[in-house]
A and B are shown apart, each in its own frame.
Chain A
Amino acid sequence: MLEIKNLHVKLADEDKVILKGLTLTVPKGEVHAIMGPNGSGKSTLAYVLAGREGYEVTDGDILWNGESIIEMEPDERAAKGVFLAFQYPMEIPGVAGLTFLRTATNAVRKKRELTEMTTPEFMKFVKEKAAKLNIDFEMLKRPVNVGFSGGEKKRSEILQMAMLEPTLCVLDETDSGLDIDALKVVSDGVNALRGPDRAMLVITHYQRLLNHIVPDKVHVLADGRIQKTGGKELALELEKSGYAEFTGKAA
């Protein structure tokens, strides 16, 4: 279970406060959506969950399975099952997708005290997962994300997610830059990973994605706090009325 308690976050180098007492609980087996206007702190939340540098937690805590993770390095969190699907995945020139996947898979397995995969085991595993996600195996021979289309990048993120078998998946604007067909492939991939042992936090701007990935709960994030929580129908309301109510309240 993910428990975010009264989380206050500011930028490390500036006095800008972004999250102002965010509280949120996502039990295992559930998918929660976070919606909110630009600048409400959605991406900051994703980065703080994953442990990116440049943010300072000034108050509150993040517990994953009852354990505080805010002092952990990003790779330790990854080993604990935290996975962030990036809005803008990084390009890594010269590193083939397969090399990256294998290095990551084995790094995580080692930290989870599992045996590292041999080459044949790994190849079998990656071929299975790629086929499920409709990913052309040839794509994995190219350097990670270099020259990928928006759709390829996001599918590659979901493949990484499938390979690393996380228990907490954070998807940051996974729908951005996707056409309808790509959106469907990516959503199917995410839905296939839904399960009783996995908690998911889907961050999005638009209700569109939630037609494909149907959430158990929807939270509205504005001005650094959760302003409202509801069922999946809340997303539809927001689509109609916009965020004015919340940004107005905040102002």
Chain B
Amino acid sequence: MTRPVLEVVDLVKHFGAVRAVDGVSLAVAPGEVLGLVGESGSGKTTLGRCATRLVAVTSGHVRINGTDIAKLSRRQLRPLRRHFNMVFQDPSSSLNPRMTVADIVSEPLRLHRIGTGASRRSRVNHLLDQVGLPAGVGRRYPHELSGGQRQRVSLARALSAGPALLVADEPTSALDVSVQASVLNLIGRLQSDLGFACLFVTHDLASVEFLAQRVAVMYLGVLVEVAARRELFATPRHPYTQALLSAAPIPDPPAQRTRRRIVLTGDIPSPVDPPAGCRFHTRCPVAVDECRVVVPPLRPVGPAGALVACHLVADDGTGPRLG
């Protein structure tokens, strides 16, 4: 197997008493889009921020192209930052309002001392073209652009130094559906043209199904299931994954109104004091005594190598079907 671009091992991130990420391991292969899905409080955004070291890591490893960045200082990280970058949900708060678009996009090139003034200018024009913005936009300021255009600028900046890894945190969640479509198409096209690996963090299952090759599902700081996209959407195995997929309404009235639905009771528990055993047991309709006591390990099940953390799923991948 080729070396993963991103390899996270036993990652833990606590904010004081809040156990935001509590022992997560995953890898993203070169050229792969891994969708990381979960609801509020699942820790998916924190995991993305740990992977790019925007926050310090409590324990565990974050390897990018084999180099462990988990414990590096700011100074040690700086030269490595050209290899990974991030785009965020709200482009209006992540772009400097006092810089022109051209300056924003070329900033990573200047910081990493890539190229000359002239070569940077031509690189910026090329990048703006790649993200579908007219060259004249380079002289504009972020407030002169629409939300969709600003997100294109964020992408151009994130990709300007040619990173091996892009972490995209809810990049389309603040956008209207028609604009969302164009940004999702763009990320898909850029990813297949440029071949970077992508950790795509979102709560939106439909965009993951559109963009990702593999999907990881997080619940309350831990992974509950990781599988190839088709397999995950066709045969979700963890009870939480099943509930999550069944709760997301599909835009097709006859199908939506006749499908089986699993309605979970209760709320996601506090990450300050997560439940013992399986963290999902307080809301799981099929939980047994073992689930309340023993932590289920994330282990391979079934013929296609899906990973599931559930006591009730057998090694051959069979298990409870809810609904």
- Do chains A and B stick together as partners? no
